[in-house]
């Protein structure tokens, strides 16, 4: 799973959001490292909806414009949980390798 997809699903795990809300949450979750443009986001949401991972929750008119809210489906929650487990396994393997690495003066956990 690509990181933007992971972050979109993570944002929606907390509850339904409209597009701009997803963009804000993804930015917050990634500490500003991932910034989604509207075109990228809506393309991703369409793809995720086709895959059954997200669904339209509701639509409402705000200032004369239609605002569509998306929610994570049960299938999407399962896919996100599987990705979290995969990332944990990979992180544990990397941490174990780093702990066993000969020291070179760089402490484990130090920022690059």
Q: How far, in Å, are 60, 64, 68, 93 from residue 13 at the CA level?
A: 21, 28, 16, 26
Quick one: pLDDT at residue 101?
85
Q: 31-87 pLDDT, tens per residue?
A: 999 999 999 999 999 999 999 999 999 988 888 888 899 999 999 999 999 999 999
Q: Which fold has domain 3-92?
A: Arc Repressor Mutant, subunit A (1.10.10)
Quick one: pLDDT at residue 105?
66
Domain extents in the chain: 3-92
Beta bridge partner(s), residue 65: 62
Quick one: pLDDT at residue 108?
61
Question: What does the alpha-carbon distance between residue 60 and residue 73 come to, in Å, rounded to a whole number?
Answer: 20
Quick one: pLDDT at residue 35?
93
Quick one: pLDDT at residue 102?
84
pLDDT at 107 over 60: yes
């Amino acid at each position: 799973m690509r990181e933007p997809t992971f972050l979109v699903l993570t944002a929606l795990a907390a509850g339904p959001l409209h597009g701009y809300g997803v963009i804000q949450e993804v930015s917050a979750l990634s500490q500003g490292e991932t910034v989604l443009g509207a075109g990228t986001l809506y393309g991703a949401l369409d793809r995720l909806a086709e895959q059954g991972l997200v669904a339209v929750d509701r639509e409402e008119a705000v200032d004369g414009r239609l605002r569509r809210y998306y929610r994570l489906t049960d299938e999407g929650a399962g896919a996100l949980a599987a990705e979290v487990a995969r990332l944990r396994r990979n992180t544990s393997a990397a941490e174990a390798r780093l702990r066993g690495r000969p020291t070179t003066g760089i402490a484990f956990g130090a920022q690059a």
